[in-house]
Amino acid sequence: MTNKPVDPKAVSEAIASLGLPDFGKANIREIVSVANKVEAKTGVKYIRMEMGVPGLKPDAIGTEAEIEALRNGVAAIYPMLDGHPDLKLQASRFVKAFIDVDIPARCCIPVSGSMQGAFATFMTLAHSDSKRDTILFIDPGFPVQKTQLDIVGLKYESFDIYGNRGEEFIRQVEDKIKGGHISAILYSNPNNPSWMCLTDIELQGLAKLAEKYDVLLIEDLAYFGMDFRKDISHPFVAPFQPSVAKYTDKCLLMISGSKAFSYAGQRIGVVCMTESLYNRKYAELGARYGVDNFGTVFVNRILYCLSSGTSHSAQYALAAMFKAACDGAYNFLEATHEYERRAKAIREIFLSNGFHLVYADDMGDPVGNGFYFTVGYKDMTGAQLMEKLLYYGISIISLDTTGSKQQGLRVCVSFVKEEQFETLRNRLEAFRAGN
């Protein structure tokens, strides 16, 4: 078709090269591979909306602290397994400053990004209580976490948050966990990719259920503070980042350096667990590891074997950024408002070309503009849309990949620059004309 900006044969051959029986089930990296192959063969540059890669430079506060640490020789020294003392202290301060929750420095543990934090948590849970062999995901979500469970040998269940908010949300969760086989519930807030945000009432409900059924709540705060409808960037002053940790100690928070701090390449984050969880004893952990304490197993058994600690220099970077944010010397969210601006413009381009928002309502309010949004088109499935748009020079992932039961696409705005907006509009206009 002449209105397609990409050679259809090149796209078809790249898709076929993956050898997948169902391209609709292609993961993010496989879709990236297709786009890369087509670009190399045709010279046509794709508009990249598939990977959640930060599109902003990190602040010099972090990079300069890391460079100084490297100059001082930390590259030659193994980091302590439980982390550099200053990062632990500053992480504890950060949680207090921006969530208004007290978590001791001892219980703030550096990890190689939230990916490792989740993996280590799953590995610890896998041998804590054999009767609880399942993780509950509140979908949509980050698909790799389910792959991690396949590796660890845990099962998972899930439900789609679409249409299940407020009291219905709590009812759905309770229905899933009351059987006693669920060890933990994992969710992101803001949610990747719907950008819905759990309310304080929903978080309180989750906390009550965690207490009633003895379930761990794993709160993935990868997009910390990036619901731009509220400004939480002022330390020790309300409003704060909503968190279940305000209502229960049966929780573990994952705070990533990747998105809010644009420090994805250095693979740094922190797992902040409550003191009661850190100290909690499990007989099955003791039988397997000779240590029955959850936090000690997490650090001295699991993290030790995974990586022998977290990148030393990157810990200095994150510590410096946390400290500056807590001291009021660095507004860590200021630069990220660029994603809000891009999302607003890109959303308009999609909607003006016949697309509709999939996850549009957030407890009666419109979903905010942020790192992601979700769109559908007519009666096409997400898999059909994903494949068709490849022929129009747009690389994007299906909502199927995220565990969503809705049909549509996850749009990531981080890599789309303003100078590409007109090209995006032209390509979507061509798509609309042909579909």
Q: What pLDDT score does 1 carry? A: 42
Instruction: Provide CB contacts within 8 A for 191, sequence distance 6+.
Output: 138, 140, 141, 161, 197, 198
Asked if residues 252 and 277 have their Cβ atoms less than 8 Å apart, the reply is: yes
* C-alpha closest to that of 253 among 277, 233, 231, 235: 277
Cβ neighbours of 406 (radius 10 Å): 18
Per-residue pLDDT of the chain (435 residues; tens, 9 = 90+): 456 789 999 999 999 998 888 888 788 889 999 999 999 999 999 999 998 889 899 999 999 999 999 999 999 999 999 999 999 999 999 999 999 999 999 999 999 999 999 999 999 999 999 999 999 999 999 989 999 999 999 999 999 999 999 999 999 999 999 999 999 999 999 999 999 999 999 999 999 999 999 999 999 999 999 999 999 999 999 999 999 999 999 999 999 999 999 999 999 999 999 999 999 999 999 999 999 999 999 999 999 999 999 999 999 999 999 999 999 999 999 999 999 999 999 999 999 999 999 999 999 999 999 999 999 999 999 999 999 999 999 999 999 999 999 999 999 999 999 999 999 999 999 999 999
Q: What angle do CA 128, 146, 115 make, to 5 degrees?
A: 80
Tokens encoding 349:
């381009």
Q: Map 75-130 to HEC letters.
A: HHCCCCCCCCHHHHHHHHHHHHHHHCCCCCHHHEEEECHHHHHHHHHHHHHHCCCC
Peptide bond preceding 242: is omega within 30 degrees of 0, i.e. cis? Answer: no
Asked if residues 217 and 250 have their Cβ atoms less than 8 Å apart, the reply is: yes
Tokens encoding 131:
């009767």
H helical segments located in 233-336? 275-279, 283-289, 294-296, 304-307, 312-326
Residue 365 three-state SS:
strand
Q: Map 178-236 to HEC letters.
A: CCCCEEEEEEECCCCCCCCCCCHHHHHHHHHHHHHHCCEEEEEECCCCCCCCCCCCCCC
Query: Rounded to whole angstroms, how far apart are CA atoms 126 and 183?
Result: 9
Asked if residues 322 and 94 have their Cβ atoms less than 8 Å apart, the reply is: yes
Q: What pLDDT score does 29 carry? A: 86
For the chain, which domains are there? 8-45+336-434 (3.90.1150.100), 60-326 (3.40.640.10)
Residue 296 class from Cβ within 10 Å (0-12 exposed, 13-18 middle, 19+ buried)?
A: middle
Q: What is the dihedral of CA 137, 146, 26, 269, to 10 degrees?
A: 90
Query: Rounded to whole angstroms, how far apart are CA atoms 18 and 15?
Result: 6
Peptide bond preceding 239: is omega within 30 degrees of 0, i.e. cis? Answer: yes
Instruction: Provide CB contacts within 8 A for 72, sequence distance 6+.
Output: none
Dihedral sign for Cα atoms in the order 345, 24, 395, 189: positive
